[in-house]
Amino acid sequence: MIDPKVASAIEAGLEAFSKYSSFNAPSLTRVFEDVFTSENDFMTKVDLVDEVFNDHPQLESLREVFFDLLLVNFFSADVKKLEEDYLDSPEWEDIEEQTLDRGTELLNMLLYLNECEDEDIEPDLEDYLKEFLLVDEDEFQDEYRIYEPVIAHQILMESPVAEIGKVAKQLPEDSELKELFYPLMCFFQNINPSVEEKNSIADNAIDKEFDMAVLEILISFS
């Protein structure tokens, strides 16, 4: 099974990537969808997705983003076919252990967008930080540490995208949000940008093919 939102996110992400690179990424849409909809177990699907990236190194920057999409699809579609308490099982614990170093913070964003849909609320940066990630709570200091650049620069919600780009470039190399900062902030600033506004976001992007692919994934998913 594939969640329709995940399917549209795959398509939108690959199209955006292709628009800003010389690689025909949309030609792989069906390949990814076949993996996501297959009857294989989760770790086999991870291996199959990795194989696609191994065969097409031009797409490497999206590897961990697609791991996030695979995981979201597992939570929203695949898990329905499994035992009710599967996510509490030793088998799932083992999978979590094996994939500790996989994926990005995009996963939290996608889970948050699902929650927004369930609760019929519009995605909002402050809501994401305080109500979803709980960065103000003592027991969630890991999230606070990861999102510190975002927390410190919330004023960028009122700034031109060029300013978001400037701050993104200045983030330290070891920041866990360095790659995602620009598309994440641009998304929250304008969750439904016009073509003209998207062009402006692309013009100020740090890595156009990656930034615009992530932005389109978020837009299509929401």
Query: Can you give the three-state secondary structure of 132-182, one letter per residue?
Result: HCCCCCHHHHHHHHHCHHHHHCHHHHHCCHHHHHHHHHHCCCCCCCCCCHH
Confidence of residue 197 (pLDDT cuts 50, 70, 90): very high
pLDDT at residue number 201: 98
Is residue 62 within 8 Å of residue 104, measured between CB atoms?
Answer: no
What is the residue type of 173?
Answer: E
Confidence of residue 58 (pLDDT cuts 50, 70, 90): very high
pTM as predicted: 0.94
Q: What is the pLDDT of residues 61-91, one digit of tens each?
A: 999 999 999 999 998 877 777 777 788 888 8
Q: Is the pLDDT of residue 136 over 80?
A: yes
Helix/strand number for the chain, H first, E second: 13, 0
C-alpha angle 56-216-29 in degrees, rounded to nearest 5:
40
